[in-house]
């Protein structure tokens, strides 16, 4: 090959690389510019510091027991205050809100278009017709255009997923609030039981001392004194049992609020919920069950999510359109070639049959889950309603029939004592029976309150009023919480 031929070939190669080569050189610096959207930063978890902060937060709350301070200085823990602490500090609620915020962050970002595809590289020319081997660059750009509204359907699916978690957080807040009311009631009754048992122990001690005086007066013997001493010891043991119940109730209530149990406040004087004059109509509760029951609300949100997922899978059966174009040189010639193309997969074999079948079956599965949850909720509502009716009747019998009869026995014994038709031991035994009946009435009241708490849980919303002064504020806090969710 002559020198002129070599020079011509070299010039042709340089001319052939001019346009694509410069384009490639200009595009490369911008290829990764968009990747700096959000840089990763390590945030270490200092477990020791987290525990120390939680201990400090628990100790910083100012609620104290009434018997730890002088009278009038104790800060009573009202139900609305307990509800606010539950909302702010309960670990499970914070976790459910964090899960919702994660899904909401995804739903807040619109589904982007697929990234364009960039290809570049060398093309080689060789063979018997080429005067010498040549290398020329090429550049191709492809853009995918989604069809069938896939992006909008993906956005709808993400929003439905976030909504399902929002409903889960809101309903879980409602469930825990009802459980808080139950534990609040249990603690109130447990403390009242301790106070009553302290009085019973004091009365049993007076009976024991009186029996000793009767022995000196000849009205009793050593066996009678032994029986009263045994009764006094039993009541002291029962007092310890009541104090254990109070401790368990305090721990349960404090745990829901992530509160140091030693900082648990005194309860207001009117703590227990006001019982309705007439029983609750179970038919009316059934009609509203779909609007209040947490499991049904969550299942309905899951069904909406399954519906959106099915729509998305149906849209995926339509192929996306790919637009492409490129620049390239031609081996051995001083020219640049440009090409345009349009392409898509032929929907012949893969029509996303498996994805659609899975999504359709999942939707039916969620529907079945909703029906099963509704069936369970109706059964639990009927059971809780019947239990509340029986507990109310038992409390009525004890309070209106048994307790007056026990008090009457004490009055009769005291009236018969001067006449000699009853002795002191019979009077003491009547007083002991009265104390036991009073304790049974208190236990029946606790069972009645807990039965209504079970009915509230089965219904999914409060049915009783605790403190008229603060009940509206409590309901407002719950509504605000659901609004935030």
Listed by start position, the domains of the chain span: 77-121+145-262+281-344+351-484
- Non-local (6+) Cβ contacts of 442 within 8 A are 189, 192, 193, 196
d(CA 285, CA 463): 10
| Residue 148, φ and ψ in degrees, nearest 5 | 60, 25
d(CA 93, CA 169): 7
Give me the pLDDT at residue 56, please: 72
Contact of 282 with 381, CB cutoff 8 Å: yes
Q: Is the pTM of this model over 0.85?
A: no
Give me the pLDDT at residue 251, please: 92
The domain 77-121+145-262+281-344+351-484: what is its CATH number? 1.20.1600.10
d(CA 81, CA 250): 15
Give me the pLDDT at residue 433, please: 85
Tens of pLDDT along the chain (485 residues) come to 444 444 444 444 444 444 555 666 666 666 665 565 567 677 777 666 777 777 777 766 655 444 444 444 446 788 888 898 899 889 999 999 999 999 999 999 999 999 899 888 887 767 676 566 667 788 888 999 999 999 999 999 999 999 999 999 999 999 999 999 999 999 988 888 898 889 888 888 887 887 787 777 666 677 777 877 888 898 899 899 999 999 999 999 989 988 888 777 778 767 788 888 777 788 999 999 999 999 999 999 999 999 999 999 999 999 999 999 888 877 667 778 888 899 988 889 989 999 999 999 999 999 999 999 999 999 999 999 999 999 999 999 999 999 999 999 888 887 886 666 666 677 777 887 888 898 899 889 889 999 999 999 999 999 988 764 444 444 444 444 444 44
């Amino acid at each position: 090959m002559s020198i002129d031929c070599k020079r011509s070939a070299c010039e042709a190669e340089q001319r052939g690389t001019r346009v694509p080569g410069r384009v490639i050189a200009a595009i490369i610096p911008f290829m990764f510019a968009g990747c700096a959207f959000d840089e990763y930063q390590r945030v270490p978890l200092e477990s020791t510091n987290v525990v120390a902060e939680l201990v400090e937060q628990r100790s910083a709350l100012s609620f104290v027991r009434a018997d730890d301070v002088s009278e009038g200085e104790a800060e009573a823990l009202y139900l609305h205050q307990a509800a606010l602490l539950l909302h702010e500090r309960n670990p499970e609620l914070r976790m459910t809100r964090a899960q919702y915020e994660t899904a909401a962050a995804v739903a807040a970002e619109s589904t982007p278009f697929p990234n364009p595809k960039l290809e570049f590289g060398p093309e080689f020319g060789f063979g018997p017709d080429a005067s010498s081997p040549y290398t020329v660059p090429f550049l191709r750009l492809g853009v995918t255009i989604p069809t069938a509204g896939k992006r909008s359907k993906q956005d709808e699916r993400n929003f439905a997923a976030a909504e399902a978690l929002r409903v889960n957080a809101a309903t879980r807040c409602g469930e825990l609030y009802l459980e808080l009311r139950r534990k609040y009631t249990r603690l109130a009754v447990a403390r009242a039981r301790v106070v009553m048992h302290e009085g019973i122990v004091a009365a049993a001690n007076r009976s024991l001392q009186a029996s000793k005086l009767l022995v000196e007066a000849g009205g009793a013997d050593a066996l009678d004194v032994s029986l009263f001493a045994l009764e006094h010891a039993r009541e002291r043991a029962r007092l310890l049992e009541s104090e254990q119940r109070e401790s368990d109730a305090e721990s349960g209530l404090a745990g829901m609020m992530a509160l140091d149990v030693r900082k648990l406040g005194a309860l207001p004087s009117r703590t227990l919920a006001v019982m309705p004059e007439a029983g609750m109509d179970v038919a009316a509760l059934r009609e509203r069950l779909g609007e209040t029951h947490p499991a049904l609300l969550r299942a309905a949100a899951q069904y909406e999510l399954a519906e959106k997922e099915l729509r998305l899978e149906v849209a995926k059966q339509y192929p996306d359109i790919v637009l492409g174009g490129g620049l390239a040189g031609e081996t051995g010639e001083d020219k640049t070639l440009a090409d345009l193309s349009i392409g898509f997969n032929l929907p012949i074999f893969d029509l996303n049959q498996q994805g659609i079948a899975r999504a359709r079956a999942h939707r039916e599965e969620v529907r079945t889950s909703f029906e099963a949850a509704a069936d369970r909720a109706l059964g639990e509502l009927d059971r809780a309603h019947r239990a509340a009716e029986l507990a109310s009747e038992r409390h009525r019998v004890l309070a209106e029939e048994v307790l007056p009869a026990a008090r009457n026995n004490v009055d009769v014994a005291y009236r018969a004592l001067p006449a000699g038709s009853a002795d002191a031991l019979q009077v003491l035994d009547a007083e002991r029976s009265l104390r036991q009946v009073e304790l049974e009435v208190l236990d029946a009241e606790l069972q009645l309150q807990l039965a209504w708490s079970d009915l509230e849980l089965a219904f999914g919303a409060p049915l009783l009023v605790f403190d008229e002064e603060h009940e509206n504020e409590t309901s407002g806090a719950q509504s605000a919480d659901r609004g935030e969710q």
